Every structure is written in structure tokens, then in C-alpha cells.
């Protein structure tokens, strides 16, 4: 916790700590919004959590109603590793944990006692002696009927000296002081902030870069005017809002829009876990395509510097509840912002959204994520002609969409991920000619796609992942010539692809992972000359590849993992001179490689298994850094030409159980850092030249059951930190060089102690050994 955030609260913090030491059961911190209750509670938790077995901090909100999700969040904070299946199991797990462990739990911003009781019944919480509950609230009577002895602490406004120090810290920096000409007006501003830490921080941050007397006087006059116009000195919300409003009014247009988005959408009463900064930046960037992500981040940093928001650990955006409520009030009451944002859909909907949605004609972004009770949308949705982003992710009870959706001609992003009951799409969807991104991930009830989708000529990203009932794709998809990404992962019933996909000449990424019913590919895929990534992982029914794939000269990543029916590769793959990564693990019917692969001189990563021999041409792959030939159980020898792979840093031959010896040329691989030969059970000895691999840091020889000795030059491997010879049951003696080597190891794996006792007696000299 930053020191400035607890200025003037030392006495209060000490009082709370002493109460915890004396095993207080329940503690209630009472004070108006912005007074610093949350900061005090978090600082307390940090100061005293060592006195308990576990700790937890829960932010409460009226709109948070998912008890199961809340309980999972609590169990995670309490470091309970098991994941409960349902609400009943989560309640049982928490009850058991609380009966065995002394815990301290903070419930922040409690409005009524049910917010606690619905998640953690009081009897469960105090079943273990020594546990403590801390509650922060604006209502001193909220815990009056909790049934246990309650200690209440009123959080007062800061004293005058502390107010001034906090304001100066935020306006002038930690070591700064007010210039003489600003002292008087500064004191007036501090007084107008009513001793509220939040308002002092925000006003200080707002004035940080404004050093002219005139700016400060103007800020004071606006504060003063706001209080006079308020007319309700008893309403603490309005008192602080008028103070905070000064900072909002001086933001630029883009900063105001972003701040209101955060207040309405990106906070913990909409997203229980909070909104990640990176995700928010992606959303803003998608909405405003003309502004780069870097511009968005600059705007966000301005809000952070103005103390209007924070980005907490793990990158989660946070906004104080007073600032959030002020922002929402602005949207609800001011003409400029009315009907631009809606955030309380779940509060107003049971099965559907009423027709008033159609009145929001200025709305540009509509998020209905995980409104799992929503079954329909009104036809008036078609009136939202300014809408650019529409997110229906997780609306799992939708079976259809209104035809009027086709009127949203400004729409650029439509997300229907996990609309798992959706059985069809309206033909009018083809009218959305501005659409650039369409997500249909895990729409698992969709059995076919519209021919009209071929009209979406602006589309750049189309995601069909998990549409497991689709058996075919419309030929009209070949019209989507702007498409750069097509994802068909887990479309497990697709048996073929239309030839027209060859028209998608802008495509850079094609993902067909787990299209396990695909038996062949169209030759026309060879026209996709812009393709850089082709993923056919676990296309287990594919028996061959078209020769035309050799035309994909821009391809850099080619993944064939799990293509278990593939018996051969076309020679033309040798033309893929941009290829850097190829995975063929699990191609169990593939026994050999075409010699033409030696042309792949850009290849850096190659992973194979099941081969009976390796072509000598592999020695030409001089850019290769990672070579994995695991489970080649019939491979008896390696070609000498592998010694030419002088860029290699990782070589793995796990499970090559017929390999009887290594080639002398391996000593050329001087950049090798990882050598793994686990399960090479026919290997009887290692070459002395192995000692020339002076860059080696990791050497695995686990379960090399026929290995009887180790080479003499092992002590040359001065970079080696991990050495594993567990399961090498035939090893009966060790060279003296191993004793010197072990001085540098951090991990040494060995299991055959009985035959090595005399050698193990020397291990007391190895100070650097960590795992043994």
C-alpha cells in the first residue's frame, strides 16, 4: 500500500490491528463514500493476514447475484485448490474450510447483510475460534442483526493538516510543496473537498500540471459553485460528485468517453473479476478502428494520472464506486450522453428486452454478454442504426435472432460466441456489409450457414470454432475476399470444404484443428498465397494432402499434429521456403519424409514421430533450432548429416527405443542447450564427444535401461544445471568427472541407489545441489 493512501490513518490502523490481535469476531468500518474505508480495510488485511491461516477480500455490489461465482472467487483467494462443480459443492467446501482454518474476510461496500449471508452464513464464518469478519459500509445499521458481538469504528474526515499533506502529495509530488502564490487558494480548495481522501486525490491530480494561480482559482470557484447549486448538504453523494465533476469537465472528448465506458461497463459490478486493461484496450480499438491501441493506452494513462481510475495488480481496471456512480448519473441525466450506454440490462430483463431498446438511436456499443436468461430480442433492435459493436456472447438461450438485425448496416463487430441454442441465422444478416468481425464460436446447434454470408465482403475475421453440427460450408464463402482469418476448429462434422475457398487470396490464417471428419482438401487451397499459418491439427481422417499446397510460399507455420491417417507428404512441400515451424507429432501412419524437405532452409522448428528412418537431406536445414523426433520406435540410427545442424539448441529423441548408438558428429552442435533421450532403451553407451557440447544446460537420460556407463568428459559440461538418469538400471559405475560436474548442478535425478552407494558418499561436497 502506497504511504500517501493511508496518511492520517495510523491511529485507526493501530486500533484495528489491536482488535485483531485480541481476536475480535466482527468489525464494521462506517463512513461516507470516498472517506477511505476500502483503503483502510485493504491496508489492515495486508498488515494482519500473517496472523491467520487464510485471508480474503470481497467487493460487494447490489447487482452481483451469482453466488456460485462469488464462492469460487472466495475459495480461490483462500487458496483452496479443488474447483467445485456446482453451488452446493462450493458451499460445502467453504463450510469445511472455515471449520478448520482461522480466516480473516473483508466484505467491502456492504449495503445489506444478505450480501454476506447469501455467500458465507455467519455460523459457518465463526465456526473456528479466532476468525475475523471486517465489513465496510456507508450504513452503520447494516450489521445490527448479525447475531454476534460487533465492534463499530466510524471513519472520520481527515484533519486539516493531513488533508493539506495529501492534496500537496497529489498536486506537487511526494517531496513537493505549494508555491507561495498558490498556498491560500490551495487551502481553500482543500477545505472545499470536505476532508474526503478521494476528492483530495482527484483534485490534486487534476491540478498537478496547472501551476498558474488563475487555473487554481477557477477550480476553486467551480467547486464553490457546485456546492451552492447542490442544495442538499445532507446528501454525501452529491457533495462529493460536485467536487469530482471538476476533473471530469476538464477531460478531452475521448477521455470523457473512455471514463464513462469504464463507469458503465468495465468495473466489478458488471464483471465480477474486473475488466483486464488489455481486453478493454482491444475492445476500444475494435470500436474506433482509426485509433491505434497506443492512442487508447495514452488516453487510459491520462485517466490514471488524473486519479480517476486505477489499474491494480494483474492488470485489472478499477474505478471508485463514487466515481462510477457519478459517471452513470451523467449518462442518465445529461442530454449529451443520454441513450449512449446501457449497463443494467440484467436488472430489467427476465426473458426479453422490451422495445424501449429501439429508442437508443445514438448507441454505438451494446454488450449483452452472458445474459443467460435472455431468450429473445425486440424487433425494434433494427432502429439502432449507429451500432458498430454488438456482443451477445454467452446468451445461451437464444434460438433465433430478429430479421431486423439486417438493418444494422453500421455494424462492424458481431459476437455470438457460446449462443449454444441458436439453430439458424436470419437471411438479412447478409445486409451487414460493413461487418469486419463475426464470431460464431461454439454455436453448437447451428446445422448450416446462410448463402447470404457471401455478401459480407468487408469481413476480415470469421470464427466458427466449435460449430460441431455443421456438415458443410456454403460455396458463397468464396466471395469473402477481404477475409484474413478463418477459424473452423472443432467443426468435427465437416466432411469437405468448398473449392471456392481458394478465392480467399487475402487469407493469412486458416485453422482446421479437430475437423476430424475431413477426408480431403480442395486443390484450390494452393491459391492462398498470402497464407502464413495453416493448422490441420487432429484432422485424423485426412489420408493425403494436395500437391498444390506447395504453392503456399508465404506459409511460416504448418501444423499437422494428430493427422493419424496421413500416409505421405507431397514432394511439393519442399517449395515452402518461408516455413519456420512444422509440427507432425501424432502422424502415426507417416513413416518417411520426402527428400525435398531439404529446401526448407528457413525452418527453425521441426517436430516428428513414428518415422522408421530420417533422410540425409535433413542435414541441409541449417536454420533449425528445435528438432523433436520423439517415439520413433523403429528408428535404429541417425544420419551423420545431422551434425550439420549447427544452429540447433534443442534436440529431443524421447522414446526412440531401437536407437543403439549416437553419431560422432553430434559434437558439432556446440549451441545445443537441451538434449533429451528419455526412453532410448537400446542405447548402451554415450560418446566421449558428448563432452564437447559445452553450451548444454539440460541432459535427460531417464529410462535408458541398457546404458552401462557415462562418458569420461562430462566434467567439460560446465553450463549443465539439470541431469536426470532415473531408471538407468544398468548403470553400475561412474567416472570421477561426474563428481566434479555435480558441483554445478541444481537438479540431479537418480534412482538406482543400491549399486551406487560408494559414489553417493561423496555427495556431501556438493553445495549447489537443490533437488536430489
3-state secondary structure of 154: strand
Tally of structural domains, the chain: 4
| 480 band by pLDDT with thresholds 50, 70 and 90 | very high
> Concatenated DSSP letters for 454-499?
GG-TT--EEE-TT-TT-----GGGGG-TT--EEE-TT-TT-----G
Q: What's the rounded Cα separation, in Å, for the pair 601 and 419?
A: 45
Same domain, 204 and 68: no
**Band of pLDDT at residue 651, cut at 50, 70 and 90:** very high
Whether residues 750 and 636 fall in one domain: yes
Question: Which residue matches cell numbers 562418458?
Answer: 711
Q: The CATH number of the domain where 64 resides is what? A: 3.40.50.300
Query: Cβ contacts of residue 65 below 8 Å, gap of 6+?
Result: none
Q: Please give the grid coordinates belonging to residue 612.
A: 522408421
Residues 132 and 13 in one domain: yes
| Residue 448 predicted with pLDDT over 80 | yes
Say if residue 249 is exposed, middle or buried (CB neighbours under 10 Å; 0-12, 13-18, 19+): exposed
Cell of 71: 464462492
Confidence class of residue 629 from pLDDT cuts 50, 70 and 90?
Answer: very high
Say if residue 274 is in the same domain as residue 239.
Answer: no
Tell me the pLDDT band of 2, cut-offs 50, 70 and 90. very low
Instruction: Tell me the CATH number at 301.
Output: 1.10.10
Q: Are 143 and 115 in contact (CB under 8 A)?
A: no
Dihedral pair phi/psi, residue 723, rounded to 5°: -140, 120
Q: Choose one of 301, 333, 365: the last residue of a domain.
A: 333
Say whether pTM exceeds 0.75: no
Q: How confident is the model at residue 206 (pLDDT cuts 50, 70, 90)?
A: confident
Domain contains 221: yes
Q: What is the pLDDT of residues 219-264, one digit of tens each?
A: 888 766 554 334 344 455 555 677 678 778 878 999 999 999 999 8
Asked whether residue 489 is domain-assigned, the answer is: no
Residue of 711, 755, 758, 713 lying closest to 730 (CA atoms)? 755
Judgement on whether residues 18 and 150 belong to the same structural domain of the protein: yes
**Number of other CB atoms surrounding residue 492 within 10 Å:** 18
Is residue 582 pLDDT above 90, yes or no?
A: yes
Cβ burial, residue 637 (10 Å; 0-12/13-18/19+)? middle
How many Å apart are CA 472 and CA 474, to the nearest integer?
Answer: 7
Regarding whether 603 and 719 lie in a shared domain, the answer is: yes
In a domain, 655, yes or no: yes
Confidence category of residue 271, pLDDT binned at 50, 70, 90: low
Dump the DSSP string for 644-670.
Answer: G-TT--EEE-TT-TT-----GGGGG-T
Task: Clarify whether residues 111 and 257 are in a common domain.
Answer: no
pLDDT of residue 258: 93
**Quick one: cell of 741?**
560436474
Task: Give the strand pairing for 310-311 and 316-318.
Answer: antiparallel
Residue 360 maps to a domain: no
Domain that holds residue 304: 252-333
Cα separation of 654 and 585, whole Å?
Answer: 12
C-alpha cell read off for 479: 466471395
Tens of pLDDT, residues 362-388: 888 888 887 777 888 889 899 999 999
Residue 439, all three cell numbers: 464470431
Flag the least confident range among 4-18, 259-273, 404-418: 259-273
- For 709-735, the three-class secondary structure string (H helix, E strand, C coil) is CCCHHHHHCCCCCEEECCCCCCCCCCC
Contact 29, 40 (CB under 8 A): yes
Residue 647 belongs to some domain of the structure: yes
Q: What local confidence, expressed as pLDDT, does residue 767 receive? A: 41
**pLDDT tier at 360 (50, 70, 90 boundaries)?**
confident
Q: Is there a single domain that holds both residue 142 and residue 288?
A: no
In a domain? residue 626: yes
Mean pLDDT of the residues in the chain: 85
Do 214 and 320 lie in a common domain?
A: no
Of 248, 273, 307, which one is at a domain's C-terminal end? 248
Q: Are 469 and 492 in contact (CB under 8 A)?
A: no
752 and 603 in one domain? yes
Residue 263 lies in a domain: yes
Regarding whether 294 and 231 lie in a shared domain, the answer is no
pLDDT tens for each residue of 64-81: 556 888 888 899 999 988
Give the per-residue pLDDT at 233: 43
- Percent of the chain surpassing pLDDT 90: 44
Domain closes at, from 299, 333, 367: 333
| Residue 615 shares a structural domain with residue 708 | yes
Residue 297 within any structural domain of the chain: yes
Amino acid at each position: 500500500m502506497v504511504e500517501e493512501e493511508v496518511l492520517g490513518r495510523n491511529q485507526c490502523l493501530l486500533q484495528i490491528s489491536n482488535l485483531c490481535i485480541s481476536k475480535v469476531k466482527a468489525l464494521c468500518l462506517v463512513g461516507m463514500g470516498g472517506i477511505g474505508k476500502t483503503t483502510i480495510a485493504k491496508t489492515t488485511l495486508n498488515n494482519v493476514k500473517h496472523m491467520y491461516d487464510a485471508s480474503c477480500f470481497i467487493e460487494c455490489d447490489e447487482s452481483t447475484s451469482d453466488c456460485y461465482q462469488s464462492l469460487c472467487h472466495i475459495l480461490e483467494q483462500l487458496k483452496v485448490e479443488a474447483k467445485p462443480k456446482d453451488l452446493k459443492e462450493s458451499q460445502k467446501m467453504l463450510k469445511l474450510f472455515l471449520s478448520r482454518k482461522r480466516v480473516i474476510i473483508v466484505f467491502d461496500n456492504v449495503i445489506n447483510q444478505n450480501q454476506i449471508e447469501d455467500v458465507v452464513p455467519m455460523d459457518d464464518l465463526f465456526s473456528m475460534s479466532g476468525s475475523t469478519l471486517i465489513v465496510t459500509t456507508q450504513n452503520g445499521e447494516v450489521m445490527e442483526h448479525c447475531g454476534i458481538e460487533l465492534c463499530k469504528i466510524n471513519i472520520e474526515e481527515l484533519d486539516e493538516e493531513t488533508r493539506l499533506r495529501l492534496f500537496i502529495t497529489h498536486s506537487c509530488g511526494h517531496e513537493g510543496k505549494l508555491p507561495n502564490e498558490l498556498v491560500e487558494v490551495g487551502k481553500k480548495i482543500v477545505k472545499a473537498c470536505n476532508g474526503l481522501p478521494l476528492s483530495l486525490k482527484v483534485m490534486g491530480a487534476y491540478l498537478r500540471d496547472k501551476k498558474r494561480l488563475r487555473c487554481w482559482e477557477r477550480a476553486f470557484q467551480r467547486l464553490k459553485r457546485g456546492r451552492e447549486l447542490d442544495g442538499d448538504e445532507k446528501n454525501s453523494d452529491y457533495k462529493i460528485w460536485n467536487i469530482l465533476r471538476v476533473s471530469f469537465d476538464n477531460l478531452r472528448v475521448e477521455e470523457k468517453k473512455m471514463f464513462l465506458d469504464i463507469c458503465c461497463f468495465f468495473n466489478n459490478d458488471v464483471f465480477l473479476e474486473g475488466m483486464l486493461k488489455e481486453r478493454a484496450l482491444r475492445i476500444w480499438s475494435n470500436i474506433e478502428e482509426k485509433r491505434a491501441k497506443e492512442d487508447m493506452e495514452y488516453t487510459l494513462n491520462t485517466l490514471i494520472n488524473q486519479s480517476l481510475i486505477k489499474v491494480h495488480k494483474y492488470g485489472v481496471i478499477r474505478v471508485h464506486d463514487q466515481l462510477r456512480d457519478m459517471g452513470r448519473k451523467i449518462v442518465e441525466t445529461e442530454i449529451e450522453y443520454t441513450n449512449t450506454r446501457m449497463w443494467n440490462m440484467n436488472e430489467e430483463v427476465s426473458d426479453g428486452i422490451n422495445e424501449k431498446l429501439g429508442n437508443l438511436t445514438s448507441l454505438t456499443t451494446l454488450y449483452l454478454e452472458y445474459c443467460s436468461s435472455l431468450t429473445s430480442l425486440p424487433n425494434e433492435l433494427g432502429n439502432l442504426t449507429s451500432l458498430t459493436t454488438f456482443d451477445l456472447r454467452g446468451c445461451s438461450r437464444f434460438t433465433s435472432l430478429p430479421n431486423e438485425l439486417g438493418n444494422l448496416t453500421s455494424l462492424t463487430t458481431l459476437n455470438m460466441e457460446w449462443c449454444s441454442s441458436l439453430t439458424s441465422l436470419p437471411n438479412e444478416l447478409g445486409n451487414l456489409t460493413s461487418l469486419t468481425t463475426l464470431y460464431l464460436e461454439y454455436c453448437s446447434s447451428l446445422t448450416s450457414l446462410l448463402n447470404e454470408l457471401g455478401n459480407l465482403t468487408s469481413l476480415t475475421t470469421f470464427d466458427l470454432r466449435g460449430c460441431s453440427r455443421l456438415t458443410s460450408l456454403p460455396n458463397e464463402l468464396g466471395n469473402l475476399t477481404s477475409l484474413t482469418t478463418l477459424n473452423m476448429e472443432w467443426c468435427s462434422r465437416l466432411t469437405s470444404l468448398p473449392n471456392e475457398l481458394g478465392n480467399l487470396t487475402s487469407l493469412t490464417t486458416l485453422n482446421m484443428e479437430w475437423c476430424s471428419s475431413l477426408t480431403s482438401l480442395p486443390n484450390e487451397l494452393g491459391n492462398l498465397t498470402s497464407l502464413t499459418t495453416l493448422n490441420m491439427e487432429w484432422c485424423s481422417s485426412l489420408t493425403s494432402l494436395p500437391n498444390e499446397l506447395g504453392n503456399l510460399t508465404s506459409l511460416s507455420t504448418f501444423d499437422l499434429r494428430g493427422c493419424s491417417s496421413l500416409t505421405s507428404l507431397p514432394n511439393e512441400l519442399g517449395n515452402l521456403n518461408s516455413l519456420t515451424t512444422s509440427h507432425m507429432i501424432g502422424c502415426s501412419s507417416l513413416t518417411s519424409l520426402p527428400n525435398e524437405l531439404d529446401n526448407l532452409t528457413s525452418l527453425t522448428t521441426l517436430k516428428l514421430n513414428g518415422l522408421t528412418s530420417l533422410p540425409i537431406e535433413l542435414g541441409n536445414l541449417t536454420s533449425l533450432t528445435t528438432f523433436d523426433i520423439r517415439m520413433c520406435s523403429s528408428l535404429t540410427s541417425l544420419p551423420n548429416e545431422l551434425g550439420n545442424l549447427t544452429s540447433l539448441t534443442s534436440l529431443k529423441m524421447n522414446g526412440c527405443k531401437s536407437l543403439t548408438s549416437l553419431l560422432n558428429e553430434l559434437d558439432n552442435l556446440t549451441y545445443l542447450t537441451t538434449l533429451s533421450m528419455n526412453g532410448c532403451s537400446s542405447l548402451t553407451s554415450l560418446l566421449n564427444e558428448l563432452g564437447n557440447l559445452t553450451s548444454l544446460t539440460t541432459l535427460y537420460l531417464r529410462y535408458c535401461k541398457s546404458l552401462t556407463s557415462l562418458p569420461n568428459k562430462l566434467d567439460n559440461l560446465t553450463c549443465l544445471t539439470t541431469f536426470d538418469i532415473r531408471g538407468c538400471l544398468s548403470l553400475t559405475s561412474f567416472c570421477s568427472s561426474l563428481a566434479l560436474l555435480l558441483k554445478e548442478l541444481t537438479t540431479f535425478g537418480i534412482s538406482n541407489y543400491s549399486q551406487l552407494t560408494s559414489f553417493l558418499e561423496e555427495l556431501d561436497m556438493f553445495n549447489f545441489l537443490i533437488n536430489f
